[in-house]
């Protein structure tokens, strides 16, 4: 007998989703199961919009907790379900989240194309969703180190947020615009935007928002060389980020703290921040390996299922042959038995070879990953040994550069190496303790020496060299 649910029961489920959506960013890891449970209840009472939205928020929880594969899988599921039920808002937001996940992996063109499609989905008067999409565009532009798009998306996000009059959306738009103003050197304007964000709502319980606001103030005061104030806000950001559990965010804050302590010549606290930073990097590396193993396990299961289906097909063929050719039954049985044994033996040998090849590949990957991690650490710590180690790991890259432009200096080669590792201009400036203008000038000189046209992205040119 089909259960009948009251309207009050359905409204209760919708209200729970609203509360979860408002609070999940405080501690996303705890909300993954909550959204899954709420989704099952929504499916049971046939509330498709709530069920689809739970998929989207579950994907966002995975994004906050650095689980890239799960983020992409659940974003795609939410996108497919939103398309099926014609839910344009969740379709657009799922596309944007998927674009954000792609950008974290370095697929910038795919991310921007997907975001452009997402922006076309919402209704013209849905300013809140548009503001959220443009805010995602700002994040992707920062990953891509595209200053023009950063400025464009931050202004569009703020404009749509003001039209929406939605306080949380407007608040995040102010935070995003503050970062752009700070990068431009307009620290006072950046502070004004952050203060507007704080004034909009009581932020005492919002760890995600607190972390971003305090990180913003830390960046502003660091650029103003007010290192004590910078450290104060960075520690506040650290406290909030610890509750969220976003390891990448924590690692970024520790890097900022290291720079502040180093500038202040506080070597004892610099060492503590450095140790915690390395511990987080090790943790992130372990997480990535676990995700990789999970994917390999899934592939191995698919391969095993395929073999089982293949065996079943052979048995069916054998039975049909026996039924149709009774005269040759004894001959066919012996033939298929031998064929089966031969193929089984062959498969076993192939599986052993594949397994050994996979073990070799895994060992090579782990060795290369450890080497790359060391190179990244040398680059971030601005160690003199960086270029030497980089030459050992990528000898062909530097030889090609020196062949194309023999006049490149060691500082030019170091800058090229960091761009080859996909460091942005801001990151290069941050880790080498130089200004962004200095880095941009060096990139301009390198472009001239390499004879690279201005229409070609220098980072992509070097990464494809």
Residue 229 has pLDDT above 50, yes or no: yes
**Averaged over 176-197, what is the pLDDT?**
87
In a domain, 430, yes or no: yes
Q: At what angle do helices 267-324 and 68-84 cross, to 10 degrees?
A: 60
**For position 21, which CATH number holds?**
1.25.40.10
Among residues 121, 155, 174, which one ends one of the domains? 121
* Cα 71 to Cα 63: distance, rounded to the nearest angstrom: 5
In a domain, 458, yes or no: yes
Q: Is residue 285 very low, low, confident or very high in pLDDT (cuts 50, 70, 90)?
A: very low
Q: Give residue 325's pLDDT.
A: 87
Q: Give residue 105's pLDDT.
A: 85
Q: Give residue 202's pLDDT.
A: 58
In tens, the pLDDT along 116-169 reads 999 999 998 999 999 999 999 998 998 888 888 989 999 999 999 999 988 888
Mark residue 422 as left, alpha or beta (left: phi above 0; alpha: psi -120 to 50; beta: remaining).
left
Q: Is residue 98 very low, low, confident or very high in pLDDT (cuts 50, 70, 90)?
A: very high
Quick one: which of 74, 17, 4, 26 has its CA closest to 48?
17
* Cα 355 to Cα 358: distance, rounded to the nearest angstrom: 5
* Cα 89 to Cα 69: distance, rounded to the nearest angstrom: 23
* Residue numbers of the domain that contains 403: 386-463
- HSE at residue 438, side-chain half, CA atoms within 13 A, is 12
**Lowest model confidence (mean pLDDT) among 71-80, 349-358, 446-455:** 349-358
Residue 92 has pLDDT above 90, yes or no: yes
**The token pair that represents 344 in the structure block:** 């089984």
**The token pair that represents 45 in the structure block:** 């009472």
**Averaged over 95-102, what is the pLDDT?**
92
Note the Cα 407 to chain centre separation in Å.
37
Close Cβ partners of 206 (under 8 Å, ≥ 6 residues apart): 25, 26
**The token pair that represents 356 in the structure block:** 């050994």
Look at the chain and report how many structural domains it folds into: 2
Q: Give residue 382's pLDDT.
A: 85
Higher pLDDT, 138 or 3: 138
Confidence (pTM): 0.54
Higher pLDDT, 450 or 310: 450
Close Cβ partners of 418 (under 8 Å, ≥ 6 residues apart): 379, 427, 428, 431
**The token pair that represents 319 in the structure block:** 């039975």
Q: Is residue 283 very low, low, confident or very high in pLDDT (cuts 50, 70, 90)?
A: low
Q: Give residue 7's pLDDT.
A: 75
In tens, the pLDDT along 404-423 reads 888 899 889 999 999 998 89
Radius of gyration of the chain (CA): 27
**Averaged over 443-457, what is the pLDDT?**
90
In a domain, 57, yes or no: yes
In a domain, 444, yes or no: yes
In a domain, 264, yes or no: no
Q: Give residue 205's pLDDT.
A: 63
In a domain, 326, yes or no: no
Q: What is the chain's percent helix, strand, coil content, to nearest 5? A: 85, 0, 15
Counting DSSP H helices and E strands in the chain, the numbers are 21, 0
Burial of 11 (C-beta count, 10 Å sphere; 0-12/13-18/19+): exposed
**Averaged over 192-215, what is the pLDDT?**
78
Q: Give residue 333's pLDDT.
A: 87
Among residues 57, 87, 121, which one ends one of the domains? 121
């070097």: which residue's tokens? Answer: 462
**For position 395, which CATH number holds?**
3.40.50.2300
* Cα 421 to Cα 415: distance, rounded to the nearest angstrom: 10
In tens, the pLDDT along 67-86 reads 888 999 999 999 999 999 99
**The token pair that represents 42 in the structure block:** 């929504």
Q: 112 and 102 in contact (C-beta within 8 Å)?
A: no
Q: Could you tell me the sign of the dihedral formed by the alpha carbons of 364, 367, 371, 373, in that order?
A: positive
């299922």: which residue's tokens? Answer: 305
Coil vs helix vs strand at 67? coil
In a domain, 95, yes or no: yes
In a domain, 366, yes or no: no
Residue 369 has pLDDT above 70, yes or no: no
Among residues 94, 121, 148, which one ends one of the domains? 121
Q: Is residue 358 very low, low, confident or very high in pLDDT (cuts 50, 70, 90)?
A: low
* Cα 91 to Cα 448: distance, rounded to the nearest angstrom: 44
Quick one: which of 133, 131, 99, 132 has its CA closest to 119?
133
* Cα 63 to Cα 135: distance, rounded to the nearest angstrom: 16
Q: Give residue 365's pLDDT.
A: 46
Residue 371 has pLDDT above 60, yes or no: yes
371-392 in b/e form (b: 16+ CB < 10 A) is eeeebbbbbbeeeeebbebbee
Mark residue 242 as left, alpha or beta (left: phi above 0; alpha: psi -120 to 50; beta: remaining).
alpha
> What percentage of residues in the chain have a pLDDT greater than 90?
26
Tell me the average pLDDT of the chain. Answer: 82
Residue 211 has pLDDT above 70, yes or no: yes
Residue 322 has pLDDT above 50, yes or no: yes
């Amino acid at each position: 007998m089909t259960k009948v649910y009251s309207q009050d029961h359905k409204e209760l489920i919708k209200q729970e989703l609203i509360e979860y959506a408002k609070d999940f960013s405080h501690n996303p890891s705890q909300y993954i199961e909550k959204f899954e449970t709420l989704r099952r209840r929504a499916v049971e009472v046939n509330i498709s919009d709530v069920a689809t939205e739970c998929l989207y928020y579950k994907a966002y929880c995975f994004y906050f907790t650095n689980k890239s594969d799960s983020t992409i899988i659940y974003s795609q599921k939410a996108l497919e379900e939103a398309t099926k039920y014609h839910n344009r808002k969740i379709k657009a937001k799922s596309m944007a989240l998927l674009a954000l996940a792609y950008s974290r992996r370095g697929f910038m063109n795919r991310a921007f194309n997907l975001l452009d499609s997402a922006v076309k989905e919402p209704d013209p008067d849905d300013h809140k969703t548009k503001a959220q999409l443009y805010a995602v565009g700002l994040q992707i532009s920062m990953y891509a180190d595209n200053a023009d798009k950063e400025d464009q998306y931050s202004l569009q996000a703020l404009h749509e947020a003001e039209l929406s009059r939605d306080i949380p959306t407007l608040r995040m738009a102010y935070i995003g615009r503050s970062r752009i103003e700070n990068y431009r050197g307009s620290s006072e304007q950046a502070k004004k935007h952050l203060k507007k964000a704080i004034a909009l709502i009581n932020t005492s319980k919002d760890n995600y928002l607190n972390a971003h606001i305090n990180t913003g103030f830390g960046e502003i005061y660091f650029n103003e060389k007010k290192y004590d104030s910078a450290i104060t806000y960075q520690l506040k950001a650290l406290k909030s980020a610890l509750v969220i559990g976003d390891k990448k965010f924590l690692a970024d804050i520790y890097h900022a703290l290291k720079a502040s302590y180093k500038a202040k010549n506080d070597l004892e606290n610099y060492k503590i921040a450095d140790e915690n930073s390395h511990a987080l990097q090790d943790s992130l590396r372990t997480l990535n390996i676990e995700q990789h193993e999970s994917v390999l396990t899934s592939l191995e299961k698919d391969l095993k299922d395929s073999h089982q289906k293949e065996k079943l097909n052979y048995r069916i063929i054998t039975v049909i042959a026996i039924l149709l050719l009774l005269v040759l039954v004894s001959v066919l049985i012996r033939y298929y038995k031998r064929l089966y044994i031969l193929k089984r033996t062959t498969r076993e040998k192939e599986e052993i070879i594949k397994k050994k090849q996979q073990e070799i590949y895994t060992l090579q990957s782990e060795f290369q990953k450890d080497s790359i991690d060391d190179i990244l650490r040398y680059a971030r710590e601005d160690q003199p040994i960086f270029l030497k180690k980089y030459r050992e790991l990528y000898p062909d890259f530097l030889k090609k550069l020196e062949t194309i432009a023999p006049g490149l200096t060691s500082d030019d080669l170091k800058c090229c190496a960091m761009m080859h590792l996909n460091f942005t201009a801001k990151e290069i400036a941050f880790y080498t303790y130089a200004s962004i203008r200095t880095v941009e000038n060096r990139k301009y000189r390198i472009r001239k020496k390499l004879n690279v046209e201005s229409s070609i992205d220098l980072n992509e040119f070097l990464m494809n060299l």
